[in-house]
Amino acid sequence: MKRTLRHLLLLGLPIIWIAVPARAEVFLLTHGGRVEGQWLNQDDKQSAVYEIEMTDGGRITLAASQVTEVIVRSEMLRRYQEELPKVPHTVEGHLEMAERCRKAGLKEQREFHLQKVLELDPEQAEARRGLGYSQVDGQWIRADEWFASQGYVRHKGDWRLAQEVELDARKDRQAVEEKEWRKRLQVWRNAVVRNRKDAAEALTQLSAVDSPLAIAGLSEMLADLEEPKQLRLLYVDVLSKFSQTAAVNALLKRVMQDPDVEIRERSIDAARLHGGDHALAVLTNMLKNKDNNVVNQAGWALGRLGDPAAIPALIDAVVTKHRFKIQTGSGPGAITGGFSPQGGGGMQTGGGVKIIEKELQNRQVLSALTALVPNGVNFAYDIVAWKNWYARQQLLAPGTNLRRDL
């Protein structure tokens, strides 16, 4: 029900004090919450909605049925001023008034009354805590004083170490600079794609990029499958200049997901230049994926990476177990069909769904494994034989580069 302040006063209904910015109202909601802001369509008496500009600058619309009361700040402060002379100058009187202010959201007025309490009783615990004090070694100390004594600084409404603040500032500066690089890269890209008169110069500029701040933009452009292939290959080459993890991850994502084989091959070769150890860790972890296609793709990439350190993980992944959904049942209209490990495939009518586990031989993993071990060593998909062989080699020459030295 839509009610104005004047209506509430005439009806003698109680009004809650609410502290909000100047020229703002408080909209009390039917579910118990409240919204603070300026009532924009106050003059439209026929409107069934409230148009409100929030204190943070945003705008919302509330249906009249969502609002129980609209309270004006100036009236609330007037009522507080009327009550103020009646407050007893005692600990109890100021504590009671401070609590009423707290419930109403009158922060400054609440602090005023709590300070009055401390003037009367400096050790009054409730007032101390209300003003942010805590007892440390028998002494009352404000939280801000304690944090400052510990080397913290106030930052964005929270207490942070100076090093954290500097790190945040550095991240903010980096985000701004990365945005500028995105714009620059896009300008050069457009010049090349549209074959403008400065296309050759733009291509030279793209090829010469050497700032790590360009990694994010280059990664996004590389991931765009609509980009011309030659440009995407160029992005791979440029990313290969960087040893940063972000650049290597962008390349590995193309290795595992790109539909173009040349992009995949160029990407794994580029990742090997600076990020061999990181690439090894990422790809060996993908050998544990529940998707058999991912396992084989990771196996192919590890073979191309050429690091014998991958041998133990490849041995474990020569044969892997995967879960599948299959349709079961019989009867009119029942259809039996297989499902991929990701749950793909059409839903069938009739019967039910059964989960089965099946061992799969991974050809790409075996191919990578045989490429990394000495010529002639091949135990096919016999994991036990592979493990026994590898254990013997480690006993004979721990840490040996199997492909080079055996």
Grade residue 367 by pLDDT with cuts at 50, 70 and 90: very high
Tell whether the model's pLDDT for residue 387 goes beyond 50.
yes
Say which DSSP state 42 is in: T
Residue 171 clears pLDDT 50, i.e. is over it: yes
Q: Please report which confidence band the pLDDT of residue 400 belongs to, taking 50, 70 and 90 as the band edges.
A: low
Which one of 24-33, 81-90, 179-188, 273-282 scores highest in mean pLDDT?
179-188
In order of 46, 105, 253, 325, the CA distances from 28 in angstroms are 20, 13, 51, 52
What pTM was estimated for this model as a whole? 0.58
Residues 267-284: pLDDT tens digits?
Answer: 999 998 876 789 999 999
Domain residue spans in the chain?
Answer: 5-76, 87-150
Q: What is the mean pLDDT of residues 96-105?
A: 85
Nearest to 77 by CA among 126, 118, 21, 115: 21
Position 1 scores a pLDDT of: 39
225-to-171, 220, 221, 228 alpha-carbon distances in Å = 29, 10, 9, 8
Q: Which residue has the higher pLDDT, 13 or 87?
A: 87
**40-61 pLDDT per residue, tens:** 888 887 888 999 988 777 899 9
Confidence at residue 256, expressed as pLDDT on a 0 to 100 scale: 95
Residue pointed to by tokens 């457009």: 190
- Which residues are within 8 A (CB) of 275 and not within 5 positions of it... i.e. 6 or more apart? 243, 245, 247, 248, 251
Is 7's pLDDT higher than 60? no
- Rounded Cα distance between 36 and 24, Å, is 7
- For residue 338, the 8-state DSSP code is B
How, if at all, do strands 49-54 and 139-142 pair?
Answer: unpaired
CA distance 375 to 346: 45
- 5-76 CATH, one of 2.60.40.2470, 1.10.760.10, 2.30.30.100, 3.30.565.10: 2.30.30.100
Given this model, what pLDDT does residue 351 score?
A: 60
List pLDDT tens digits, range 285-344: 999 999 999 999 999 999 999 999 999 999 999 999 998 888 876 555 444 444 444 444
